[in-house]
Copies of this chain bind each other. A is one copy, B any other.
Amino acid sequence: MSRSDWKPQREGNVPVYRQIADHIKEKIASGQWPVGSRLPSQRVLARDFGVNRSSVVTALEELAAEGILEGRVGSGTRVVNDTWSLLPSLPPDWSSMVDAGIHSPNLSMIRKINEEEFTPRMIRLGTGELSPEWYPRESMGRVLQRVSRKIVSLGYEEPKGLLPLRQEISRYLASIGITAAPSSILVVSGALQALQLISLGLLEKGSTILLEKPSYLFSIRVFQSAGMKLTGFPFRREGLRMDRVRHARASLYYTIPSFHNPTGALMSEERRRELLASCERERLPLIEDDVYRELSLDGPVPPPLKARDSKGTVLYLGSLSKVLAPGLRIGWVVGPEPVIDRLADIKMQTDYGSSTLSQWVAAEWLAEGSYRAHVERVRKELRKRRADADRILRKYWGDWADWELPAGGFYIWVRFRKPLPLHRLFEQALRRGVLLNPGSLYDPGDRSHLRLSYAYAPRREWERGVRIVADLLRDFF
């Protein structure tokens, strides 16, 4: 269970432990913590309530004495009774329902990361998100003002998304060599949703997805939850060997050719041609996840594979999340019209479309010149951060690790010179206030990488984080 924002009153006659006991009773009586559910640990309760652990212990003991809670060593404290009911009875068996659900839970480390990101003062060394300080507050203010004059009603939109936004996306795509009418474009709530729609709309259970290893895709459960398998091929500059593809009988190939997550690699033009040609020959659909394209730091990026796709082999994913603001939750999928029609229909069944407000804001950003200016500014800042990160890493980790600086995007894929217990490192760093993204998230067998991102934490924090981890690393080397 997650943090509470209730706190006991310090002034007054009711002792703190009593207030805590009453609060817990109310949680139970209102069905928020039903009979059978497990309480957070004493440590977490004490932190959330802002009290000493002893007050929590006293409160729990009292409730145990009343027969409401039951504590067992090793399995924590559970709600066993709600003594207020006239007819005592059990609630629905939620915990077996939670276990029985179809969709896999996130990897526990990802769940932990998702939660700990909101712990105040946490240093996030691996977060794949622009630094909040670069948020273009003033331009956004102007955009919101213009948009609020344009919007005459915030209704549901067409299944493929707000037409003015799709028209802007179509223009943007033309600027990177992709011909796509608004009818071949589906607006989605970020590229992740596109993957979910593809998993639900185009694949049979048991299908195989080919991909590079490591890959972002290993860190999420979207395809596996729908019953698909991921088959990763070691990531190499020369790319995938097509004889292996043939052997794998796959349904899709997933690639991040520009500033790959997590390695930062940029696929060469020649390699892109080869990959597309091979997939065309094999009639293997290709998902090109191109959400980092705009974040090129050292000159132009080769055209997207989609720009050369004359057969309709490629489903192309783009997004504003990595460049402008993830909180807009606006991305797009581009592909053959019958496929886009299918995905749009499932999108309607999933959430009736993305926020119309966000769609208007996105359209306005793409339409006006200040988007380019914003991208330029972000690139400049990222170049500085990348150089700083390199210097800091050399200084603190230089004896133990190697890395290549990426030509764009956010990530440095740091390789330690010997395998490490990454999970222990993660936990230890967390206790010292540093959040890491271990390589095992992106390649289950990995034991020697971390995905660092120089995009999120400010320089000083970044340095402090790297220093703290260096202290921990020393013990391993």
Closest partner residue, chain B, to A84 (CB atom): B310
Q: Which of A73-128 contact B (CB under 8 A)?
A: 82, 84-85, 89-95, 97-98, 100-103, 105-106, 111, 114-115, 117-118
With a cutoff of 8 Å between Cβ atoms, the chain B residues found around residue A155 in the complex are 129, 132, 325-327
Q: Across the two chains, which residue of chain B brings its CB closest to A141?
A: B148
Residue pairs across A and B with Cβ atoms less than 8 A apart, 20 shown, are A30-B309, A32-B184, A32-B337, A33-B337, A38-B338, A97-B202, A103-B201, A103-B349, A106-B345, A111-B345, A135-B152, A137-B152, A144-B145, A144-B147, A145-B148, A157-B327, A190-B352, A192-B352, A196-B350, A329-B354
Name the residue of chain B whose CB is nearest to the CB of A143. B148
* Cα distance A309–B92 in the bound complex, in angstroms: 12
Residues of B close to A6: CB separation below 8 A? 181
- Asked if residues A355 and B328 are in contact (CB atoms below 8 Å), the reply is yes
A37 lies within 8 A of chain B by Cβ: yes
- Interchain CB contact under 8 A, A137 and B159: no
Chain A stretch 15-51: residues in CB contact (< 8 A) with chain B: 26-27, 29-35, 37-38
Q: Which 6 A-B pairs have the closest CB atoms?
A: A327-B356, A34-B312, A154-B327, A31-B312, A132-B153, A154-B325
Measured between alpha carbons, how far is A270 from B148 in the docked complex, in Å?
A: 45
Collect the chain B residues with CB atoms within 8 Å of residue A114's CB. Answer: 158-159, 345, 348
Cβ of B34 and Cβ of A336 under 8 Å apart? yes
Residue A180, interface by CB 8 Å: yes
Q: Is A361 in contact with B357, judged by CB distance below 8 angstroms?
A: yes
Query: In this assembly, does A370 line the interface, its C-beta being within 8 Å of a C-beta of chain B?
Result: no
A15 to chain B, nearest CB (A): 22
Q: Does A179 contact B (CB under 8 A)?
A: yes
Measured CA separation A203–B98 after assembly (Å): 8
A285 CB–B CB distance under 8 Å: yes
With A159-B114, A285-B92 as contacts: A204 and B152 at CB distance below 8 Å: no
The distance in angstroms between the C-alpha atoms of A409 and B74, with both chains bound, is 51
Whether B89 contacts A281 by the Cβ 8 Å rule is yes
Given A159-B115, A192-B351, decide whether A37 and B338 contact each other with a Cβ distance below 8 A. Answer: yes
Distance of A105 from chain B, by nearest CB (Å) = 6
Residue of B103, B200, B327, B361 touching A156 (CB-CB under 8 A):
B327
A424 at the interface (CB under 8 A from B): no
Collect the chain B residues with CB atoms within 8 Å of residue A106's CB: 345, 348-349
- Tell me the interface secondary structure of chain A in the complex: loop
Say yes or no: B100 contacts A203, CB within 8 Å: yes
**A31 lies within 8 A of B101 (CB):** no
Question: What's the Cα separation between A91 and B280 when bound, in Å?
Answer: 7
A351 and B157 CA atoms in complex are apart in Å by 18
Q: Report whether B149 and A31 are in contact in the complex, using a CB–CB cutoff of 8 Å.
A: no
Interface residues of A in 284-317 (CB under 8 A from B): 284-285, 309-314
Which of A221-229, A378-386, A438-446 makes up part of the contact surface? A221-229
A449 on the interface (CB 8 Å rule)? Answer: no
List chain B residues, Cβ under 8 A from A167.
5
Candidate in A89, A157, A327, A338 with the most chain B CB atoms within 10 angstroms: A327
In the complex, which residues of chain B have a beta carbon less than 8 angstroms from the beta carbon of A27?
181, 337
Does A101 lie within 8 Å of B200, measured CB to CB?
A: yes
Mark out the residues of chain A between 325 and 371 whose CB falls within 8 Å of any chain B CB in the assembled complex: 325-329, 335-339, 341-342, 345-346, 348-358, 361
Is there contact, CB below 8 Å, between A31 and B327? no
Q: Which residues of B contact A176 (CB under 8 A)?
A: none
A189 touches B (CB below 8 Å)? yes
Question: A149: which B residues are within 8 A, CB to CB?
Answer: 141
The CA of A215 and the CA of B444, in the complex, are separated in Å by 45
Q: Is the CB of B346 within 8 A of A202?
A: no
Distance between Cα atoms of A283 and B35 in the complex (Å): 12
On whether the beta carbons of A91 and B345 are closer than 8 Å, the reply is no
**Which B residues are in CB contact (< 8 Å) with A190?**
351-352
Q: Mark out the residues of chain A between 163 and 206 whose CB falls within 8 Å of any chain B CB in the assembled complex.
A: 163, 167, 178-184, 189-190, 192-193, 196, 199-205
